[in-house]
Amino acid sequence: MADAPVPEIESKPRLVTETGRTKSHSYSILEFAGLVRRRRWFLACAVGGLLLLCLLYCLIAPNQYEASAKIALRMQPSSLLTVNTAEAVAPASILSTPLQLETLVNVLRSERLEWKVLTELKLYDSPAFVRNFGARFPRFTPEKPGAEAQSYLLDRFAKRLKVSTLPRTLLIEVRFRSKDPALSAKVANELIRAYQTEESDSRTEATRDASAWLAGQLTSLTAEVEGKEKRLAELERQHGFMTTQQTTAGGQPTEILNDPNTQQLDEIGRLLAAAEGDRILREALLRQAQLGNPEQVLAANPELQAEMGPSGAALAQQLRGRLSEAAVEMAQLQVEHGPNYPRLVELERSRQDIETQIKVEDANLMDGFRRAWLAAQDREKLLREQMDARVGEGLRQNDAAMQYTVLHEEVLSGRELCNRLEGRIREAGLSAGVRGSSITVVDWAREPFKPVTPDLPLYMAIALFCGIWLGLGGALLLDALQAAPGVAE
């Protein structure tokens, strides 16, 4: 009885000490090796069980094959055969290039392209892509798919498709995974082709829309030019305008306006200037004839002599000659026979008659000079009156000519613009098919021969790693659970 309290008092410190040891216990290498030795069967079962389960999964799970293709953002024209002077390519800016790549990645991931590939390859009928799709959606048709069926196919396609950019390059990798290796490669390649086709179709459609708009503008512009050409022809008929084609210094043919009224006005102006000069000349000759010998004036101007006729000048010259002969003979007779000689008297009367005839002829020549001057003055007056009349009409013609010139320039520019638009429409139709895609296929997807999943070595390594840690954790837990009852006792 006396010894009973002693063990109870001693057991309390031991309980506290061992409890503290349990809470703060750490294993040494020898203790850890002993734990492994004691729990070797547990560790073996844990590791072996996980490895067996991993092996069974790898044997049961279907193989998944992944095909990959690489495309590059095109920075240069793909062909030297271009219709336009410069072909649009992707910009090479440091800031814009990542945006271009990211945009292209998102376009390749777009549901429109995915649905196009789905319907082109009929993936809804392929067991390698989806099973029992017909039983799940019996009324499915590609033309009018239901929202649920379409969402199901697109989600499944998006999970199997991977599109990513390669760092520090302009390359984009397109990967697709399925149970059929040939289908994986076909889907990846078809996605690239679908993008190229859609890009070409969108460019062709945009070109067709622009060409249709330009064709409408060309039609209205052609009608406007034809209306102006009719107005131009009407002006030509009303005012008698004519155009002649001449070659400029550069070798280009150009049309020159020929206005007959303007030409007549120029001709009248030239004739008026000549008539004015002729009138001044005749007036000067008349004054010279009045102040001197008209015969000498007439002899000095043969053209006036031909106009007045040779009779007056010839008769005056003959009279002058007879007068000179009579004067010589009279001088000789006066010296030889004196002033009362009968022959001398006869010659004196003859001389007086000749001088009278000379005065009459000189008066006739003066009348001729006066008539020539008056005729030149009348001609100048008539030409000036005609000039004044033509100037008034020419002013009206000048307004019409200015209107004709402006309208003619508008017609020429309209024709040139019509030709340019027509050529642009043809050029756009040709260039739509010549211009290349914005991407370049670096590597087409080829059929993979090795599945990516299940990967037996990788999965077994993961199972081994997890089994070891689970086994060790279980062994430590078992030791802790076994130690707890003994401490409590």
Give per-residue pLDDT as tens, 246-298.
555 555 556 666 666 666 777 878 887 887 887 887 777 777 777 767 766 66
Which of 72-76, 296-300, 437-441 is least confident?
296-300
Mean of pLDDT over the chain = 76
C-alpha separations of 443 from 190, 191, 192, 345 in Å: 13, 13, 11, 143
The DSSP element (H or E) to which 306 belongs, if any, is helix 302-308
Closest among 173, 177, 32, 162 to 472, alpha carbons compared: 32
- At residue 210, the 3 state secondary structure works out as helix
- For the record, the structure tokens of 159 come out as 């999970």
pLDDT reported for residue 14: 43
* Torsion from C-alpha of 136, 139, 143, 148, nearest 10 degrees: -40
Q: 70 and 57 share a domain? A: no
- Please report whether residue 138 resides in a domain: yes
* Torsion from C-alpha of 280, 281, 285, 286, nearest 10 degrees: -30
Q: What is the mean pLDDT of residues 13-32?
A: 55
- What DSSP assignment string belongs to 20-63? HHHHT----HHHHHHHHHHTHHHHHHHHHHHHHHHHHHHHHSPP
The DSSP element (H or E) to which 176 belongs, if any, is strand 171-178
The number of distinct structural domains making up the chain is 3
Compute the half-sphere exposure of residue 465: CA atoms within 13 Å on the CB side of its CA. 6
Q: What are phi and psi of 178, to 5 degrees?
A: -155, 180
Q: 363 and 274 share a domain? A: yes
- Please report whether residue 4 resides in a domain: no
Q: 461 and 390 share a domain? A: no
Q: What are phi and psi of 171, to 5 degrees?
A: -95, 150
Q: 56 and 92 share a domain? A: no
Q: 174 and 311 share a domain? A: no
pLDDT band at 115 (very low <50, low <70, confident <90, very high): very high
Closest among 386, 411, 387 to 236, alpha carbons compared: 411
pLDDT reported for residue 60: 81
Question: What's the CA gap between 68 and 163, in Å, rounded?
Answer: 9
Q: 197 and 340 share a domain? A: no
- Please report whether residue 247 resides in a domain: no
Give per-residue pLDDT as tens, 181-234.
999 999 999 999 999 888 888 888 888 888 888 888 888 888 888 888 888 788
389: domain CATH number is: 1.10.287
Expressed as residue numbers, the domain containing 282 is 256-434
More confident residue, 199 or 25: 199
- Does residue 173 carry a pLDDT above 60? yes
Give per-residue pLDDT as tens, 331-377.
776 667 766 677 766 777 777 776 777 677 667 777 777 877 888 88
- Please report whether residue 225 resides in a domain: no
Q: What is the mean pLDDT of residues 3-15?
A: 42
Give per-residue pLDDT as tens, 121-137.
998 888 888 888 888 88
pTM of the model: 0.55
Question: What's the CA gap between 116 and 109, in Å, rounded?
Answer: 12
Q: 108 and 199 share a domain? A: yes
The proportion of the chain whose per-residue pLDDT surpasses 90, expressed as a percent, equals 14
